[in-house]
Structure 1
Amino acid sequence: MQPPSNWTPTRGSHRHPIGVARREFLQIGFSGLLGVGMGSWSLAHAAAATGGTTAPSRLSRARSVVIVFFTGGVSHHDTFDPKPDAPDGIRGDFNPIATKVPGLFISEHLPRLASHADKLAIVRSLSHGHSNHLNATHWILTGHPQPGAFFDKIASRDDYPHPAALVARVRPPADGLPSGVLLPTFLMQGPLIWPGQHAGFLGPKYDPWIIKDDPNRNEFQVKGLTLPDGFSVERLRARRALFEQLHTLRDQIERDADPLDPARALAYSTLTSDRLANAFQLDRERAEVRDRYGRHMFGQSLLLARRLIEAGVPIVQVNLGEVQTWDSHGDIFRRLKNDLLPPTDQGLSALLDDLDARGLLDETLVVMVGEFGRTPRLGLSAGATIPGRDHWPGVFSAVFAGGGVQGGQVVGKSDPIGAYPGSRPYAPADVAATVYDALAIPPHIEVRDRLNRPLHLITGKPIEALYRGFEA
């Protein structure tokens, strides 16, 4: 299997050039209720879905999606696609272990997930053509290459939208809930803002809500979900009634729509309803539940994702780490063994158990993926003294569970050294189509970009083998 014609692997260290600084997408505070400083979490009024009036044919039984994102690119060799028979310098330091499914092996440092393998479908033949973090993140999250992509091209309103943005556009949830929440980090480094996290050309009113705080902190609190001192719900409702009267008078004079109205309505409905605010109150969980997830950022973020899904948020993305946490160009085995795989193994296993026990796993698709994999051959990057693996989009793995996925299987395979697909390759567009299928977004849906050009967002096909059995 040859790599895509427009693809070249990254070698050695990678440096980020100084880009054009962009103001970070602001989060809403109480001032937003008064029409001041509306931020990126603003989700607007519903827009009718285009094309057809009947529900689309679906493979998934899901009603919601949790995307677990390994930001930086997790090594497939050292997690879900071990190569114990590969030569030295490729197979790595870890041993594969047997799982609950006969014949299925994963890394020895994922023992809890090994015991949940009957719930997992591992896709081992994902592939695309971008070895840069920003471009690749846009591609895997949106299903499209970033328009005008170049090395470290930052987010812009010409980008394709995150799936939560299309949900907000087509079928926003009721009761003031956001259509999507991304947590606990915003992928940004200096002037570089990772594309694929927002609504792109759909516009800021459809941006998902981004949480930038560690849920494991004792003082964890999401700004904008509590009223400031001196304000009661009754007083807030009275103030809203006054605003509505003023807006009615204004609209009699000027019929042009105010773009802040939908966001302001959501802000009011959020603050006057307990559903979303309660979801963020992790201290309401029993201590033993929090302990099962792990008292660390990974575990508590996954617990918060479960609470948000339970509250009715359609899609939650959990970034496992800060920007490029899994970007192990050097000292990869120590970092994976000591810092990254144990909390991941604990938190994801607890999430699967918790969703299952609450009757939510069958209706929640869980997708675990990074923007690419790591190089087959170990090497020393510039300045490193201990080997690691560089970026590698030629082949990598994703793991799916829930939502009707048939667990206990491997879909596709990589070649003997984990360099390229050894069977049918799957693309980011297929991952995105699988997510959209789980969210009941019709595949033929059409939207328009900022130039009013019609575009189809779903260009791939859902990965049918996830639901219909083993595919070699």
Structure 2
Amino acid sequence: MLGLFPEQQHDCEQSSRRRFVMQLGSLAGILSLDGLLRQQAAVASPAQVDASGKKRSPASDVNCILIWTRGGTSHHDSFDPKPEAKSDIRGEFGTINTAWPGVLFTDLMPRCAQSAKKFTTMRNLNPKNGSHGVADAYMLSGHKFNPTLTYPCYGSVVAKEFGYRGSLPPYVQVNDSIDRRFRGGLSGYLGLAYNPFIVPDDPNSSRFKVRDVTLDKSVSGSRLSRRRQALEAIDTLQRNLDRQPDVFQAVDEYYEKAFDIITSAQTQKAFNLNLEPSRVRDAYGRTRLGQSCLLARRLIESGSRFVTVTDGGWDTHRNNFGTLRKKLPDFDRSFSTLITDLGDRGMLENTLVVWMTDFGRTPKVNSAGGRDHWSTAAPLLMAGAGTPPGVIGETDGEGARPVGREYYTRDIAATIYAKLGIPLHTIHHTPDGRPVALCEGTPIPELMG
């Protein structure tokens, strides 16, 4: 099922005839799209000015694909191998030369090694966290977890700042591999309207279908029109009873978007992977991650602004090497193909691609043949939107922590926002009016160009 409400909260005092009818199923076909519509008061339009009052520039029309490998991908066994270290640190994998002289990746990453000059490999990131759940909240927002305030993730901020571009939701999440215990990957204090539009089903499945977006064949155009008329009649009754025209006007705008999403040819086309040539689908890999990356490209191409692709299974406390022998080749193919494909289509100039994970893994292999959580070193890749290719920083001989200058999660956030054209001095407000700064970090010069 497609979900727009990762964590619904119910308030009995805010029930209405509209909600009652929808819960009965009388308007089936747009029910799951209700997450786009519900807000407690009038919904503000996407911000078109920055905090200083200056009008935003369309030149900031940079999109983003963020790949999140949930669990903590080992930096030792991917993009920061230590071939000269002791065997219990070096691990079981060999190394491979990359397009950068003297720079090595693990030998399970040949495609990334060959295309290394198309992206930047970051080795001096200190994530300052080593806990699942907390990592999802921290890494995907740039703010440390706060039990009293949920900070919005990058995609939610983009959705609020720039809004819709066509009929597709501005912020889409493909797959549902994000730990929500600390409300990571959500809209937080910005409100439910900016939560991700979630596509949980496997795009690689022959039965893949984005339910509630792909209109059921039993629902004809005239039938959908009648449902729309019924909704309008209910709205009129509710307006007469509640006398809240401003609120309903705002909500109606979101219902219009809901109908647009259901009926739009643009939407149907974007989610239909069968329209891709077989050779392109094969290049990405006929796997869940591969086809998810392809779907992300199609969504950006069709009008979405921010797509997060999530992939689970990277928490390798046991059998680290056996697990990664299966996971890394899939990532290697998916990521390298995505970068190449975006470049070939002329989309890399205005599409930022970021790969990140919870944290790194311990330098020493444990007794179960795994690596545990490690909070002071983690890998990150970035490409597109003017990012200069290269290798940034290094870790010590054991991969325990960065040597020399290191960067932090808040700096990654500042870099992402700067590249997407969102001023770092932007101030948002919580529902009770409290001002909150967008970001506390500083853009990383080596990534800015």
Q: TM-score range by the shorter chain?
A: 0.7 to 0.9
Corresponding residue for residue 278 of structure 2: 287
Report 1:332-411 matches (<5 A): 332-337=320-325, 339-380=326-367, 384=368, 387-407=369-389, 409-411=390-392
Q: Is the alpha carbon distance of 1:295 and 1:450 closer, same or farther for their aligned partners in structure 2, counting shifts above 3 Å?
A: same
Give the Å deviation of 1:132: 0.9
Q: Structure 2, unaligned stretches of length 5 or more?
A: 9-21
Alpha-carbon displacement from aligned partner over 1:359-418 (angstroms, at most 9, x marks no partner):
1111111101101000111112xxx3xx111001211110111111111x1112212211
Structure 2: which amino acid aligns with 1:52? S
Q: Is the alpha carbon distance of 1:223 and 1:158 closer, same or farther for their aligned partners in structure 2, counting shifts above 3 Å?
A: farther
Query: Helix, strand or coil for the counterpart of 2:397?
Result: coil
Report 1:416-427 matches (<5 A): 416-427=397-408
Report 1:31-70 matches (<5 A): 39-40=34-35, 46-48=45-47, 49-54=49-54, 63-70=62-69
Identity, % of aligned positions: 36
Corresponding residue for residue 130 of structure 1: 129
Match of 1:442 among 415, 419, 423: 423
1:77 aligns with 2:64: no
Q: Is the alpha carbon distance of 1:233 and 1:428 closer, same or farther for their aligned partners in structure 2, counting shifts above 3 Å?
A: farther
Q: What is the alpha-carbon root mean square deviation over aligned residues?
A: 2.7
Match of 2:207 among 219, 236, 239: 219
Give the Å deviation of 1:37: 6.4
Corresponding residue for residue 93 of structure 1: 92
Give the Å deviation of 1:222: 0.7
Q: Is the alpha carbon distance of 1:443 and 1:234 closer, same or farther for their aligned partners in structure 2, counting shifts above 3 Å?
A: farther
Give the Å deviation of 1:42: 5.0
Q: Aligned equivalents of 2:36 and 2:195: distance in 1?
A: 6
Structure 1: which amino acid aligns with 2:279? E
Query: Helix, strand or coil for the counterpart of 1:369?
Result: strand
Q: Aligned equivalents of 2:29 and 2:323: distance in 1?
A: 47
Q: Aligned equivalents of 2:212 and 2:82: distance in 1?
A: 48
TM-score after normalising by structure 1: 0.82
Alpha-carbon displacement from aligned partner over 1:100-132 (angstroms, at most 9, x marks no partner):
122221111100011111111111111133211
Q: Is the alpha carbon distance of 1:230 and 1:297 closer, same or farther for their aligned partners in structure 2, counting shifts above 3 Å?
A: closer
Give the Å deviation of 1:344: 0.7
Corresponding residue for residue 312 of structure 1: 303
Greater mean alpha carbon deviation, residues 170-179 or residues 452-461: 170-179
Aligned length: 423
1:459 aligns with 2:447: no
Query: Helix, strand or coil for the counterpart of 2:391?
Result: strand
Give the Å deviation of 1:295: 0.8
Corresponding residue for residue 17 of structure 1: none
Corresponding residue for residue 138 of structure 2: 139
Greater mean alpha carbon deviation, residues 248-257 or residues 312-321: 248-257
Q: Aligned equivalents of 1:292 and 1:451: distance in 2?
A: 49
Corresponding residue for residue 208 of structure 1: 196
TM-score after normalising by structure 2: 0.86
Corresponding residue for residue 115 of structure 2: 116
Query: Helix, strand or coil for the counterpart of 2:338?
Result: helix
Give the Å deviation of 1:66: 0.6
Match of 1:326 among 289, 311, 314: 314
Give the Å deviation of 1:33: 6.6
Give the Å deviation of 1:71: 0.5
Q: Is the alpha carbon distance of 1:104 and 1:279 closer, same or farther for their aligned partners in structure 2, counting shifts above 3 Å?
A: same
Structure 1: which amino acid aligns with 2:71? G
1:159 aligns with 2:150: yes
Alpha-carbon displacement from aligned partner over 1:246-274 (angstroms, at most 9, x marks no partner):
63575466125147544423211111211
Q: Structure 1, unaligned stretches of length 5 or more?
A: 1-22, 149-156
Corresponding residue for residue 161 of structure 2: 170
Q: Is the alpha carbon distance of 1:176 and 1:248 closer, same or farther for their aligned partners in structure 2, counting shifts above 3 Å?
A: farther
Q: Is the alpha carbon distance of 1:32 and 1:164 closer, same or farther for their aligned partners in structure 2, counting shifts above 3 Å?
A: farther
Report 1:255-270 matches (<5 A): 255=244, 257-258=247-248, 260-270=251-261
Bigger helix fraction: 2
